[in-house]
Amino acid sequence: MHFSEQIDQSNFEGLEQIAESDQFAIYAVGNQTYLLVQRHQGTPWMALRCSGDGLFRISALLNDAMRHLYREVSARLSPNSDKP
């Protein structure tokens, strides 16, 4: 795994973009390696390069974090919640 605090847009020329949102994209680099790129206009672009195996492991951790966030938010929004 490698993190680049600042990466030039020209580094993505010729790479296959396999997913994107308004501020993030994932590129296939080759040899089962992927780049997760934050493409925010107000800041330098950043990238996290990881292996396919790393991608699976990270996705499992992100799923756990999303479940935690969902439980916290849904508990606050629930009409049965005792919290104000």
Read off the DSSP letter of residue 8: -
What is the rounded distance in angstroms from the CA atom of residue 39 to the CA atom of residue 46?
Answer: 7
Helix extents (H) in 13-82: 52-77
pLDDT of residue 41: 83
Judge whether 43 lies within some domain.
Answer: yes
> Residues 49-66: pLDDT tens digits?
999 999 999 999 999 999
pTM over 0.95: no
What are the residues facing 35 on neighbouring strands? 27, 49
Domain count, the chain: 1
Judge whether 84 lies within some domain.
Answer: no
Domain with 11 in it: 2-77
First to last CA, the chain: 43
Round the average pLDDT of the chain to a whole number and report it. 90
